[in-house]
Amino acid sequence: MKSWKDDPRAETNPLFNDNKLKLGIFGLNGIGNNMSNAPETPNATWEESERVSRLAEQAGFEGNVPYSRWRGYVEGDDAHRSGLALDSYTWAAATSQVTSAAVFATSHVPTIHPIAAAKQCATIDQISGGRFGLNVVAGWNKTELDMFGAAMKDHHDRYAQAAEWIEILRELWSRDEAFDYDGEYYTVKKGISLPKPIQRPFPPIMNAGGSDRGREFAAKYSDMAFVIVKSDNPEEMRRETDAYRRLAREEYGRDLQVWTLSYIVQGDTEQEARDRLNYYVVEHGDDRALDGFMNMHNMHSQLMPKDIMEAMKFRLKAGHGGYELVGTADQITQRLDNLSQGGIDGVLLSWFSYEDGVNRWIKDVKPRLAQAGLRKA
Ligand SMILES: Cc1cc2nc3c(=O)[nH]c(=O)nc-3n(C[C@H](O)[C@H](O)[C@H](O)COP(=O)(O)O)c2cc1C
């Protein structure tokens, strides 16, 4: 089995470069990755996406990943800002023109037909010169899928549909002759899609399933899988990341990158960082969004067991349960090193104030990561 370290897609796509710890910026197409009404959080405008994506060029991140959201979390408040999100496919096409990072679209399976999705992905791969990646999500918010008249499937069937969807995409991306597909969820007659993506055999796939079924799906189809880090201990993390890699290797003969999600608050002192965290999570925290999210999650998703979700309320508001990177540049570097020792290949980063956060990162954290041997200078 070939390692992703020898992946030919490295020619165009920085996701396959040899930085020990890869990084991406997450959530710029929406209101960021927190539940806060602090005025510094973004508002899903293209102007902010463009400005921060250009700034992040100096940070040299490998990826820029949007989320996919069709409606907000707060029942009874249809215009709540948690529903603000630019469409991720068109956003990725535009963002590819202002960054040299890999650009992703995040796509719900049931909201787009695989033939349309395959062509959109191939188009963005062409526009970006082979830097596109697709984050496939099966969906977790029933009310947003209800808007499509697509009754949300039970958890198992959701992933069974996602498997058919991705198999059709792969055929469309790689086959030069038309094919028929007769599945339980999709029927394709004489399917063909031209032109092909630049990346061969197809652009990288990311998946963030948290359940056993989600993990199976990611191990079988994805190049980048996510874990929500539940412990600070690198050995415990290593057990989880190794288990993931083993599953992909032994069951499917594949080698995947394991990523996680983090929120960052940097200060000149730890106290300053804690005060800033408190400012956006406690003083300006959006408890209505948190309640809505908890309800939706507990009903339809298995990302985390319910008791862990309860204990994670603060982290959910701070960054959807991501790993905490709060403190001085030295402390943040230390914790990123911790993740790397725990077997994490990449981290998706979010800030409550992206511009301020990325500026501080470029000045203080970036040089320390090079010194720590985690990334090239
Ligand atoms: C990094 C990351 C990004 C995600 N992005 C989205 C998203 O944009 N839209 C969405 O509906 N779900 C998103 N999810 C949720 C997952 O798709 C998935 O439903 C969730 O992790 C629960 O896992 P399960 O489906 O295996 O139960 C994301 C999860 C993670 C960890």
What's the chain's average pLDDT? 95
Percentage of the residues of the chain whose pLDDT score is greater than 70: 97
Name the 3-class secondary structure at 266.
strand
Could you give the domains of the chain? Answer: 4-98+208-371 (3.20.20.30)
pLDDT digits (tens, 9 = 90+) for 43-65: 999 999 999 999 999 999 999 99
Nearest-CA residue for ligand 1 atom 28 is 208
Nearest-CA residue for ligand 1 atom 29 is 208
CB of 111 closer than 6 angstroms to any ligand 1 atom: no
Higher per-residue confidence, 369 vs 307 = 369
Statement: residue 2 has pLDDT above 70: no
Local confidence band at 152 (pLDDT 50, 70, 90 cut-offs): confident
Q: What pLDDT shows up at residue 298?
A: 72
pTM value > 0.85: yes
88: CA distance to ligand 1 center in Å?
14
- Scanning the chain, the segments in alpha helix (DSSP H) are 46-56, 88-95, 114-128, 142-146, 155-174, 212-221, 234-252, 270-278, 287-300, 306-311, 313-319, 329-341, 354-360, 366-371
CB of 261 closer than 6 angstroms to any ligand 1 atom: yes
**Which atom of ligand 1 is found nearest the CA of 137?**
17
Statement: residue 105 has pLDDT above 90: yes
Statement: residue 1 has pLDDT above 70: no
Nearest-CA residue for ligand 1 atom 22 is 303
Local confidence band at 211 (pLDDT 50, 70, 90 cut-offs): confident
Q: How far apart are CA 43 and CA 48, in angstroms?
A: 8
Nearest-CA residue for ligand 1 atom 11 is 139
pLDDT digits (tens, 9 = 90+) for 281-337: 999 999 999 999 988 877 666 666 767 776 789 999 999 999 999 999 999 999 999
CB of 214 closer than 6 angstroms to any ligand 1 atom: yes
> Tokens 């062509």 sit at which residue?
119
Q: How far apart are CA 337 and CA 21, in angstroms?
A: 9
Q: How many CB atoms lie within 10 A of CB 96?
A: 22
Nearest-CA residue for ligand 1 atom 31 is 208
**Which atom of ligand 1 is found nearest the CA of 68?**
8
Q: What pLDDT shows up at residue 140?
A: 82
C-alpha distances in Å from residue 32, one per residue of 25, 45, 98, 282: 10, 11, 19, 17
* Residue from 86, 91, 137, 157 to probe ligand 1 pocket by mutation (most atoms less than 8 Å from CB): 137
231: left (phi over 0), alpha (psi -120 to 50) or beta: beta
* Residue from 34, 89, 140 to probe ligand 1 pocket by mutation (most atoms less than 8 Å from CB): 140
- Between 20-29, 73-82, 200-209, 299-308, the lowest mean confidence (pLDDT) is in 299-308
> Tokens 């980048």 sit at which residue?
224
CB of 173 closer than 6 angstroms to any ligand 1 atom: no
CB of 226 closer than 6 angstroms to any ligand 1 atom: yes
Q: What pLDDT shows up at residue 303?
A: 66
Count Cβ atoms within 10 A of the Cβ of residue 39 and give its class: 0-12 exposed, 13-18 middle, 19 or more buried: exposed
Q: What pLDDT shows up at residue 167?
A: 98
Nearest-CA residue for ligand 1 atom 8 is 67
Higher per-residue confidence, 253 vs 310 = 253
Q: What pLDDT shows up at residue 156?
A: 86
Higher per-residue confidence, 152 vs 218 = 218
Local confidence band at 230 (pLDDT 50, 70, 90 cut-offs): confident
Q: What pLDDT shows up at residue 360?
A: 98
Q: What pLDDT shows up at residue 300?
A: 63
176: CA distance to ligand 1 center in Å?
33
Q: How far apart are CA 155 and CA 211, in angstroms?
A: 9
Q: What pLDDT shows up at residue 3?
A: 75
Q: How many helices and strands in the chain, by DSSP H and E?
A: 14, 11
Contacts 24+ apart (CB under 8 A), 210-215: 210/301, 210/302, 210/303, 210/304, 211/155, 211/301, 211/302, 211/303, 212/302, 213/155, 213/156, 213/159, 213/302, 214/138, 214/159, 214/302, 214/303, 215/244, 215/247
Residues in the chain: 377
